Amino acid sequence: MQEFTEQFFDLILNLDSNWKVENVVGDYRLKEVEIKISFIGKKAECPNTFVMCGIYDHVPERKWRHLDLLDYKTYIVCSLPRIKNEEKKVVTMIPPWASKNTRYTHQFEVKVIDILKATQNQTKTAELMNCSFNQVNRILHNSVDRGLERRPKDVAFSHLSIDEKSFKRNHKYVTVLSSPTSGVIIDVCEDRTKKATKKLLNSVISKENSAKVETISVDMWKAYLESIKDVLPKTKVVHDRFHLVKYLNEAIDKVRRREVKDHEELKDSRYALLKNEENLTEKQRIKFECIKDANFEVSKAWIIRENFKDIFSSNTIAEAVELFCKWGAHVLNTNIAEMVKVAKMFNNHLKGVCNAMVETFSNAMAERLNGKIQELKSRSKGYRTFKNFRSAILFFNGGLNLYPLFSQ
């Protein structure tokens, strides 16, 4: 029976003839199983030169966490051989069941990655895998590093998006660089300064490929614009439509809050004015109809926003500039301070704003990714360090090959 057990584990561990299961030991008190393996071959492959070399000696026994067996924590135990290679260096062989310098098997790592993808929560994954949070966290970081290393180098991007995401309180941000065509996050850097953004762009885009970036969708944040000017001087800047409408919505709400003090009708009208008409509830629609045609400044501000959205149908830059100038003149004539302020800001970034009227690429995909990042933060109740935050973002949204073996 003992011989059958050893042969059974030889098969399920898929060991070749150089390895042999010597013993399987169970501890019923600790609910643990140890599968003891020996290397019985005469030669082993050098992990540096990949040349078969004679055995020099063996290192002390090591343990690797494996997939649980009948709810028992399962470990592989082995004294790995060392070889002396052609360079006369003594090195330890890498076992077929694990990566170098890890203390868990490939199969265990694959299962952790799969459950992490499903739960998007490291604590829950650790509970389900009956292991520590630190083990799960280590696998997350290692798989992201591996995925980034496997990514094709020197990729030529046609379109890029830059967006910010709050990291911690007290105005702590990260900068997210993504691809609107593939829908993946390329990388993340800490802070949103010019220095940090330039470093991020330079790490992703080579000088040879900088001219191949046709458009970059970005907010009006000064540090971002200056970074793009330095690193991607020939790239067309597009101030995405989402943020442009967001500025107008914020101005509308400021007008509403100013006027509601004198007009009871405007009470509880925030969402009725800011939502798209097709998304209004019946109650909000009734409120909206009462306000839309009234002589309130907020009603005029709402019309300003709708007129601006009409410019999005422009076919050429020349047409967009002409329509924008007419729109801006109308805003100035209304003399609504909050809307005039936004119109002047748009005028200061006229080229990028008008590019948004014509270009189909925008930060819409970046905003969806931003939403996914927010879900990660909510599930994990925040991240204490940037390193953990970055790895989590890239693990779930980086489109990386995370698994330990290419075939997986």
**pLDDT (tens digit per residue) in 275-333:** 777 777 777 777 777 777 777 888 898 889 999 999 988 889 999 999 999 999 999 99
The mean pLDDT value for 182-203 works out to: 94
Query: How many other C-beta atoms can be found within 10 angstroms of the C-beta atom of residue 323?
Result: 19
pLDDT digits (tens, 9 = 90+) for 61-103: 999 999 998 889 999 999 999 988 888 889 999 999 999 889 9
Q: Supply the mean pLDDT for the chain.
A: 88
> Would you kindly state where each structural domain of the chain is located, as residue ranges?
2-103, 241-358
CA pseudo-torsion sign 260, 264, 266, 270: positive
CA pseudo-torsion sign 264, 268, 271, 272: negative
Decide if 152 contacts 206 (C-beta within 8 A): no
Q: What is the identity of the amino acid at 246?
A: K
Looking at per-residue pLDDT, the higher value among 162 and 371 belongs to 162
Decide if 224 contacts 218 (C-beta within 8 A): yes
Distance CA 124, CA 284 (A): 40
Closest C-alpha to 149, from 394, 396, 382: 394
Instruction: Please give the distance of CA 155 from its chain centroid, rounded to a whole number.
Output: 18
Percent of the chain with pLDDT over 90: 56
pLDDT band per the 50, 70, 90 thresholds, residue 362: low
pLDDT at 173 over 70: yes
pLDDT of residue 363: 60
Looking at per-residue pLDDT, the higher value among 237 and 275 belongs to 237
The mean pLDDT value for 217-234 works out to: 93
pLDDT at 5 over 70: no
The mean pLDDT value for 142-170 works out to: 88
Looking at per-residue pLDDT, the higher value among 112 and 54 belongs to 112
pLDDT at 259 over 60: yes
Instruction: Please give the distance of CA 75 from its chain centroid, rounded to a whole number.
Output: 33
Looking at per-residue pLDDT, the higher value among 399 and 11 belongs to 399
Distance CA 184, CA 152 (A): 14
Bridge partners (DSSP) listed for residue 83:
55, 91
pLDDT at 106 over 70: yes
pLDDT at 198 over 90: yes
Distance CA 7, CA 13 (A): 10
Decide if 149 contacts 398 (C-beta within 8 A): no
pLDDT of residue 359: 81
pLDDT at 406 over 60: no
The mean pLDDT value for 347-374 works out to: 82
pLDDT of residue 271: 73
The mean pLDDT value for 194-206 works out to: 94
The mean pLDDT value for 392-397 works out to: 95
What backbone phi and psi angles, to 5 degrees, belong to 180? -70, -20
Closest C-alpha to 59, from 35, 93, 15, 28: 93
The mean pLDDT value for 144-148 works out to: 96
pLDDT of residue 1: 39
Distance CA 307, CA 122 (A): 47
Distance CA 401, CA 408 (A): 9
Question: CA 187 → CA 30, 145, 148, 161, 376, distances in Å?
Answer: 43, 12, 9, 11, 16
pLDDT of residue 265: 74
SS (H, E, C) the chain: CHHHHHHHHHHHCCCCCCEEEEEEEEECCCCEEEEEEEECCCEEECCCCCCEEEEEEECCCEEEEEEEECCEEEEEEECCEEEECCCCCEEECCCCCCCCCCCECHHHHHHHHHHHHHHCCHHHHHHHHCCCHHHHHHHHHHHHHHHHHHCCCCCCCCEEEEEEEEEECCCEEEEEEEECCCCEEEEEEECCCHHHHHHHHHHHCCCCCHHHCCEEEECCCHHHHHHHHHHCCCCEEEECHHHHHHHHHHHHHHHHHHHCCCCHHHCCCHHHHHCCHHHCCHHHHHHHHHHHCCCCHHHHHHHHHHHHHHHHHCCCHHHHHHHHHHHHHHHHHHCCHHHHHHHHHHHHCHHHHHHHHHCCCCCHHHHHHHHHHHHHHHHHCCCCCHHHHHHHHHHHHCCCCCCCCCCC
pLDDT at 212 over 60: yes
